[in-house]
Amino acid sequence: MTAPAGASEAPVLGRLSALDRFLPLWIGAAMTFGLALGRLIPDLNDWLDTVKIGSVSLPIAIGLLVMMYPVLAKVRYSQIGAVATDHKLMGMSLVLNWLIGPALMFALAWLMLPDLPSYRTGLIIIGLARCIAMVLIWNDLACGDREAAAVLVALNSVFQIVAYAVLGYFYLELLPRWLGLGTAALDVSMWDIAKIVLVFLGIPLAAGYLTRRWGERTRGIEWYETRFLPKIGPWALYGLLFTVVVLFALQGETITAQPLDVARIALPLLVYFGLMWVISFALGLRLGLAYEKNTTVAFTAASNNFELAIAVAIGVFGVTSGEALAGVVGPLIEVPVLVGLVYVALWARGRFYASG
């Protein structure tokens, strides 16, 4: 977070910078600005999408890397070992991310989009892609455990490489066949998934780790924590806002041209993000997790890896497919919903935790 140091007893919102406090307003302005750009400059879409990393537009990739670097530079890597041995935390995250999350999205997709198979498939693809990027922003804004977030993101990355294609076969072909429903094929290799993980997690993770090692060794921990981190902290939100502008600029014409389709896709996504967060947070309360770790698990479970979902949808079904449109709508709904859940988390800290 970019809040100034000190006055820990002050209300949380009172300690936030203007950038943090009015983040929903900035997000809304970024969405509007991106939509306007996409509509006013017809060739902007083609220009932004000319250069890609895999199937992800280069401007989006740059925005994501800028967004993630400051958060990963804040992680105290020396404390990660203790988090990795927390079996309750790890087990809870695995169950929520790889059992409950995909199953919930599968159920919502079939219940709410029974007549739109391409959009339904796109939603299931989103549900299988567990978050490795933006969750670090939401967790940081909600005062979650940064070290736990880094470990859980790394855990999701490993499982994503190994399990994504298998789960895709299960939820798109095997389970629908057992239930007498329509099926779809998902042809994606482990290397395709690994490339996305290596770029969007590996690069900022390495940069954040090396920056902390350099800062602590050359200038000391106090300088690094109190002088350096506050300077780079706001860049995480600058990167987020830039990414939102580019996303909406790329899809502005599609969104405005097919508003009813976008609304049909958005509804199950809204339910999914809200339910996953509430289920996760309530389970953490039940199991006695501290607020910081409980918040981390909840945001990790409720977020998705839209870079991977979009790349898979475009690579398998084509850039003009309904599956690709569903993949694009995913982050457009996730960003404002998860920003709202940051405020819910801060409220829940005061309501359910004495230290709040």
Q: What is the CATH number of the domain that holds 288?
A: 1.20.1530.20
| Both tokens assigned to 120 | 């339904």
Q: Which pLDDT score is estimated for 1?
A: 44
Over residues 38-54, the mean pLDDT reads: 74
The answer on pLDDT for 294 being more than 80 is yes
pLDDT-derived band of residue 42, with 50, 70 and 90 as boundaries? confident
**Is 9 or 182 the better-scoring residue by pLDDT?**
182
Segments forming the whole domain that contains residue 256 = 14-347
Confidence of residue 18 (pLDDT cuts 50, 70, 90): low
Range from 125-129, 189-193, 265-269, 326-330 carrying the lowest mean pLDDT: 189-193
355 belongs to a structural domain? no
267 within a domain of the structure (yes/no)? yes
Place 210 in a pLDDT band, splitting at 50, 70 and 90: very high
Q: Is residue 356 part of a domain?
A: no
The answer as to whether 353 is a domain residue is no
- Tell which phi-psi region holds residue 54, choosing left (phi > 0), alpha (psi between -120 and 50) or beta: left
Domain count, the chain: 1
Looking from the CA of 168 toward its CB, the CA atoms found within 13 Å total 26
Closest by CA position to 233, among listed 29, 78, 19: 19
Residue 201 lies in a domain: yes
**Burial class of residue 168, CB neighbours in 10 A (0-12, 13-18, 19+):** buried
Per-residue pLDDT, 10: 44
Res. 319 pLDDT band, cuts 50 70 90? low
Look up the pTM and report it: 0.80
Asked whether the CA dihedral 249, 251, 257, 259 is positive or negative, the reply is negative
Tell me: pLDDT of 2 over 50.
Answer: no
Question: Would you say how long the chain is, in residues?
Answer: 356
pLDDT at residue 198, rounded to an integer = 79
pLDDT at 164 over 80: yes
How far apart (Å, rounded) are the C-alpha atoms in residues 356 and 348? Answer: 8
CA contacts within 13 A on the Cβ side of 86: 23
Q: Is residue 4 part of a domain?
A: no
- Predicted local confidence at residue 35, as pLDDT: 85
Does residue 171 belong to any structural domain of this protein? yes
pLDDT band at 136 (very low <50, low <70, confident <90, very high): confident
pLDDT at residue 144, as a whole number: 94
Structure tokens given for 7: 């006055």
pLDDT of residue 314: 73
pLDDT in tens, 244-263: 888 778 777 777 777 888 89
Q: Hey, CA dihedral for 43, 48, 54, 56, is it positive or negative?
A: negative
CA 352 – CA 150 distance, rounded (Å): 25
| Predicted local distance difference test score (pLDDT) of residue 53 | 66
Domain assignment of residue 3, yes or no? no
Does 3 or 22 have the greater pLDDT score? 22
Confidence of residue 54 (pLDDT cuts 50, 70, 90): low
Report the pLDDT averaged over residues 297-304: 94
Q: Tell me what the mean pLDDT of segment 293-308 comes to.
A: 91
